[in-house]
Amino acid sequence: MTIALREQFPFYAARAACHYLDNAATSQIHSQALAAMVGQESHRANVHRSPYRLAEAATQAYGDARAKVARFLNAASCAEVVFTSGATASLNLVAYSFGETLKAGDEVVLSAAEHHSNFVPWLRLKERAGICLRILPVLPNGRIDTARLQDLVTERCRLIAITHCSNVTGAVTDVAAVVAAARAVGAKVLLDGAQQVQHGPVDVAALGADFYAFSSHKCFGPTGVGVLWGKKAMLALLPPFLSGGGMVGSVSLETATFAAPPARFEAGTPPVGQAIGLGAAVDWMMTLPWAEIHRYESMLLARLLAGLAVFPAVRLIGPADLHARLPIVSFEVAGIHPHDVCQVLGEREVALRGGHHCAQPLLAALGSEGATRASLALYNDQADVDAFLNGLEHALKVLS
């Protein structure tokens, strides 16, 4: 399976020797996504503007991409899909626009496992609007302690904004418990799906959330585009985020009215080529045998975790089991900084990431100042895992 898949990624034609294990930061782009984006950008026009054929074709392709994303998410309608510049922009959009509906004393529940993208916007809203943040702690294995939902989600809670899967630990959140806790008090749920989408289509209807955010570059599409999905009724209640062309109903010298979603949230010229590339990427993903891929990824993850367990100096930052877990593995090496580990492995063409992974509250909660991360995608193989483990052994010798 891996070889056939690799042939579909231009990366492997150019960098066959690279063991790319930084997929949680950016996945490689699929050939269909690249071709779709290049095709659009090679003979482009703006969307929603002009009646000439090129512009009509761009508008049609942009709309088709929205429909593909809607199918990928099992959304009720295309109007629930907002194109943004990425998950960070999507999360900021909710923090700003949903935040406009909150008042001082209202509560938003986050977890200690959030990426800064789903943490800092809420900190800023707290300063701006006087809302209260309540933080779900993590267990020693990095999993979010959903048992604390009962006492942290109160009648004043308006939103639970939480990661679907941690970008550090790989732990998948018990979304059903989160949604049940929110519904019990009439609160809404925002899921940060940035890590989850790389591992298969998402069913937002089954999840029961109100908002879902993700980035294209983490699911084999181009950089520079992402998605905010929101229930139609929810999006309709929200004021705009960015203002400009394309998001208005009418504008006079005195006032402006605003378009219906999704246009209300897509001010200015959207990332047309990237969105079309994303559409091609998720279209391709929907053709894949995901049950088989999940078994394959779990096999690689088990090999990686078993290999790491052999090193006495290594401390895993995250669950050691395979239950409710994606193949994202972070760890510390006693006495050695993660950037030094990454540097030495990088010299051996093993691509990793090191540092706080934009999750400083999580690392602090787990007693870590920084971690090295290996993250697997469907095109990785056993040779990648073995190169990583052999490289780590080498790095320990170089740096000790």
Partner 1 sequence: MSSTVYQQAIKELAEAAHGSGLLEHPDGASRLDNPLCGDRISLTVQLDGGVITAVRHETRACLLCRAAASLIGLTAPGKNRKEIAEETVALEALLASSHALPAAWKELEVFAPVSGYPSRHGCVLLPFKALNEALAQP
Measured CA to CA, the distance from residue 322 to residue 332 in angstroms comes to 19
Q: Is 324 one of the binding residues for partner 1 (CB under 8 A)?
A: no
Question: Measuring CA to CA, how many Å separate 245 from each of 45, 47, 212, 266, 269?
Answer: 16, 12, 25, 9, 8
Pairing outcome for strands 132-136 and 157-163: unpaired
**CB 83 within 8 Å of CB 241:** no
Residue 25 binds partner 1 (CB under 8 A): no
- Which member of 124, 126, 315, 339 binds partner 1 (CB under 8 A)? 339
- 157 is known as an active-site residue: no
Contact yes or no for 168/357 (Cβ under 8 A):
yes
Under rule CB under 8 A, residue 344 binds partner 1: yes
Q: Is 124 in the site for partner 1 (CB under 8 A)?
A: no
Say how far apart CA 178 and CA 161 lie, in whole Å. Answer: 10
Residue 343 engages partner 1 in binding (rule: CB under 8 A):
yes
CA distance 178 to 169: 19
Per DSSP (E only), the strands in 248-313 are 248-251, 256-258
Count of residues engaged in binding partner 1, rule: CB under 8 A? 18
Distance CA 253, CA 367 (A): 56
329 bridge partner residues: 374
Nearest approach, Cβ of 317 to partner 1 (angstroms)? 14
Among 354, 362, 365, 375, binds partner 1 (CB under 8 A): 354
Instruction: Tell me which of 57, 303, 370, 390 binds partner 1, using CB under 8 A.
Output: 370
- Min separation Cβ 380 and partner 1, Å: 23
Report the distance separating Cα 227 and Cα 337, nearest Å. Answer: 35
Residue 340 interacting with partner 1 (CB under 8 A): yes
Q: Indicate the residue among 174 and 340 with the shorter CB distance to partner 1.
A: 340
Segment near partner 1 (CB under 8 A), from 14-22, 210-218, 293-301, 336-344? 336-344
Q: Does 6 bind partner 1 (CB under 8 A)?
A: no
For position 397 contacting partner 1 by CB under 8 A, the verdict is yes
Among 338, 352, 380, 387, binds partner 1 (CB under 8 A): 338
Chain centroid to CA 130? 28
Residue 355 binds partner 1, judged by CB under 8 A: yes
User: At which residue do the structure tokens 């991360």 appear?
Assistant: 373
Q: Among 184, 369, 382, 383, which residue sits at the site for partner 1 (rule: CB under 8 A)?
A: 369
334 is an interface residue for partner 1 by CB under 8 A: no
Longest CA–CA span in the chain (Å) reads 70
Mind telling me the catalytic residues? Answer: 358
Residues of this chain that interact with partner 1 (CB under 8 A) are: 336-340, 343-344, 347, 354-356, 360, 369-370, 394, 397-399
